[in-house]
Amino acid sequence: MSAEWRKILISGSNAHVAAITASVMGAISEDTEVVFRHSSTGRFFSSGSDFNVKYTSSNGGQLYLDNIGLTTYNISASGTPNNVQDNSQILFWHPSHGGLQATSSLFYDADTNQIQFIDGTFSGSFTGDGSGLTGVVGTLPNPLTNANGIISSSGEDFSYNGTDAVTVTVYTASNGGLEFSGGGLKLASSLAGAGLYFPSASTNNYSTMSINLAPNSGLDTGSSGLTINSNIAGDGLAYSIGVLSVDLATNSGLTLAGSSPNGELRLVSTLPGDGLQWADAGQYDELEIDPSFVVTSSATVTFKTGSTNILLTSDGTAVPGGFEANLIDNPTFTYDLNTTLTGDFTFQGDLYVEGNFTVTGSLVSASFETENLNIADQFILLNSGSNTGDGGFIVSQGSGNGAFMFYDSDAQRWGVSVDNVAVTTTNLSVTGSNATALVTTKITSDPEATVLVSTPTFGSNDSDKQGQLIITTAPATNESSVYIYA
């Protein structure tokens, strides 16, 4: 049979087959569960585990309902069931044991469309906000009694058992610093004294008291009480934990000589550098040039290079591989780089080439090791030297072997190989023992008739073309949209 496009059956789609053969079809046995088929979707489903329709061969081949608490096989109903009427009793059904059971207390009230609890008793706990409860009278298990600062509306000791209405008052002591405002307690406005005030008294807020500090007093408030304001420090002064000190910049060349509080500023003894020294030992008020570092007319400096890639020029005396000059004459030095470099180079940092990077000669033995290879071109051109034959990518697995992703030019098909193919291999076949062709999928809006006569994208003959897929976005109603060339 020659290869052609064949439809793949997927879930929910119709199937066109030449014939269906079933080798075993068992007889219907006792308590077999009935399976239903939906008339529109064609899907099959059972009735479920809690409410089953089953078949009984022992009672005339009838269907019966299981797990509903009934003892007979036959259920019949005629007419239309009545609607729920006023005072209809509530029935309960147990999902595991079956059976219907009524209570003597739950009834339906048609006027309010609610369930009522009539002539019954209630035990257990009740939860909720109680907003709908009215006319409930009870005795508190723990009555409220008087305490310090609490009196009743009659001025007597306060007690409350939950039956009579009573007014509760908080009793404040004379000159206690507390008074009522807006139905609640607050600090008395007269509580603040010398140096203290309420910062929000204008808004009747007496929740915070503040210390009244005079302007520019240099004081501030902290978690531990009064402190010196940190803004008291100025240029060259530092403030830390209540102490002012001279603020010296890092490496300023200044230090404090002597102990506090009589310390004085002076230059640090380490201030002189190369070519400088103190004029008088132990005195730090005068610097002079160190004569051992002075360049004179009799001293010359020679600059040399051991590489022909670097060019050194100056207005001094030329020497082999460089030049020499007196620095006191202010010579001009010029460093240049040959346009053609020779020798081996190692770049330990990053190398940026802003122009074209062209390598002439053979790169057969070239090795590039990188953690992240970024190539700006959209496509990488391989096999540019031979232009024909197989080509692709190799993932090395060590010992001279690797896994290939390759293009088989004979079969005109892409393929992959196992991971033990020699990396020196130049020809691979998608039908070889150590490789296989990639499965490709084409998405099309063509109808089935066009798909069936179309030619697969890859492959030079029928055997090379097999295994390719086509998915159409325009299948016939309830038909599969997937085709395979086989």
Distance CA 339, CA 426 (A): 39
Q: Do 94 and 107 touch, CB atoms closer than 8 A?
A: no
**Strand partners of residue 484:** 6, 469
Mean pLDDT by 10 residues, the chain (486 residues): 90 76 72 80 71 74 68 50 73 68 76 80 69 65 66 69 66 78 78 83 82 79 76 77 78 82 83 85 84 73 81 79 78 82 84 82 62 86 84 93 96 96 94 94 96 95 94 93 96
Sign, CA torsion 336/341/344/349? positive
Distance CA 156, CA 168 (A): 11
Q: Do 152 and 145 touch, CB atoms closer than 8 A?
A: no
Q: What is the pLDDT of residue 97?
A: 66
Distance CA 442, CA 354 (A): 41
Domain ranges for the chain: 391-432, 441-485
Q: Which residues of 372-394 are buried (b: 16+ CB within 10 A; e: fewer)?
A: eeeeeeeeeeeeeeeeeebbbeb
Within the chain, what is the greatest distance between any pair of CA atoms?
134
* Distance in angstroms between the alpha carbons of the first and the last residue of the chain: 10
Distance CA 254, CA 230 (A): 24
Q: What is the pLDDT of residue 103?
A: 66
Distance CA 112, CA 108 (A): 9
pTM of the model: 0.39
Q: What is the pLDDT of residue 106?
A: 81
Distance CA 451, CA 485 (A): 10
Instruction: Tell me the CA distances in angstroms from 229 to 236, 394, 416, one per residue in order.
Output: 17, 73, 78
Q: What is the pLDDT of residue 401?
A: 95
**Strand partners of residue 310:** 337
Q: What is the pLDDT of residue 118?
A: 77
Distance CA 404, CA 394 (A): 5
Pairing of β 150-152 and β 114-117 = unpaired
Residue 261 preceded by cis peptide, ω within 30? yes
Token pair for residue 101? 């059971």
CA atoms lying within 13 Å on the CB side of residue 419: 5
Q: What is the pLDDT of residue 475?
A: 94
225 sits in which H/E element = strand 225-228
